[in-house]
Amino acid sequence: MATEKKRSSSAKSPVAAPSRARKGIQSVEVGVRVIDVLAKAAQPLPLSEVGRLAGISASQAHRYLTSFSKSDLVYQDSVNGRYGLGSQALRWGISAMSKMDVIEVSSRAINELCERLDLTGLLNVWGDRGATCVRLKRSKLLLGTDLGLGSVFPLVTSVTGQVFLAHLPKSMTQDLLRAEVASMRRQGNAVDMREVEARCREVRACGMAEEIGHYVRRVSALAAPVFDYQGDVVAVMTVLFGSVPGARADHQALADELIAQSRAVSESLGWNAVKRPAQ
């Protein structure tokens, strides 16, 4: 019986150990919330506001902030007493960003989305020739297009180009845009620059661009920007799927998914929509 009890006790220990490990250290988790509150704030915050946003009392927040101040994670303004992130937090942030591969992180995100929803996805960056595809994830149902790695997309008539045009400084796009518009006009396609500007405003307001069967026949596309910690667009995530006339409303769920993915990637790169709105 003693032997059986001993075996029974040892059999339980592997189950109990992971349970303890998952519990974690609550004080550390609370401390992270305090730091996160300061990181998301557009300006230094008073003690009471830090406590409120972190979900703890002001006295509890003060203890955390005092400890963090000793390590330069937090500083307190000597004039108004408000708290902000300190130099150590900046060093950690710079170190994390230097190790972050924009292409790799964005590729993982778009691969996950495409595999889950059976879509074709492209990751695009801005190159010498414009909006250029650098990663391609094909769906099981191939769409029969010649799009692939190295494809360069027009600024006016593709969703990928429209997102770059909407968010990049005009100094980076004006020469390519001028040449593209001139080429379209030579081919008899009138381009109203006021409409182009209106489209850019719409893309910024919606957080994405959408076209149904326009750039490539019978293929619809959605594209959303990826921003870095400075709020600069560094990539565009694009998904392609079969075009169904009149189905624009049905694409909203997919649009929401794409926007959520692109925002998650942007935030992992240090982008903060509150502090650095992408406009």
**pLDDT tens sequence across 6-53:** 444 444 433 344 444 456 688 889 999 999 999 888 899 999 999 999
pLDDT of residue 242: 73
pLDDT of residue 121: 92
Model confidence at 76, pLDDT cuts 50, 70, 90, reads very high
Q: Does residue 56 have a pLDDT over 70?
A: yes
pLDDT of residue 96: 64
Decide: residue 269, CB within 10 A, 0-12 exposed, 13-18 middle, 19+ buried.
buried
pLDDT of residue 1: 43
CA 46/CA 51 separation, integer angstroms: 9
Residue 95 amino acid letter = S
Element containing residue 198 per DSSP (H, E): helix 193-206
pLDDT of residue 140: 67
pLDDT of residue 51: 94
Model confidence at 112, pLDDT cuts 50, 70, 90, reads very high
Nearest one of 140, 137, 112, 141 to 123, comparing CA atoms: 137
Average pLDDT of the chain to the nearest whole number: 82
Q: Which two tokens stand for residue 254?
A: 């997919």
pLDDT of residue 8: 41
Angle at 60 between CA 54 and CA 66, to 5 degrees: 100
Q: Does residue 137 have a pLDDT over 60?
A: yes
pLDDT tens by residue, 157-174: 999 999 999 999 999 999
pLDDT tens by residue, 57-73: 999 999 999 999 998 99
Stretch 120-127: mean pLDDT, rounded?
92
As a whole number of angstroms, the longest Cα–Cα distance in the chain is 94
CB of 137 closer than 8 Å to CB of 195:
no
**How many other C-beta atoms lie within 10 A of the C-beta of residue 279?**
9
Q: Does residue 275 have a pLDDT over 80?
A: no
pLDDT tens by residue, 205-253: 999 999 875 555 667 889 999 998 889 999 999 998 875 544 445 678 8
Q: Is the pTM of this model over 0.85?
A: no
Reported in sequence order, the residue ranges of the chain that DSSP labels E, i.e. its strands, are 74-76, 83-85, 120-127, 130-137, 152-153, 209-216, 219-227, 233-242
CA 47/CA 267 separation, integer angstroms: 26
Q: Hey, what domains does the chain have and what are their CATH numbers? A: 15-96 (1.10.10.10), 102-268 (3.30.450.40)
Q: Does residue 100 have a pLDDT over 70?
A: no
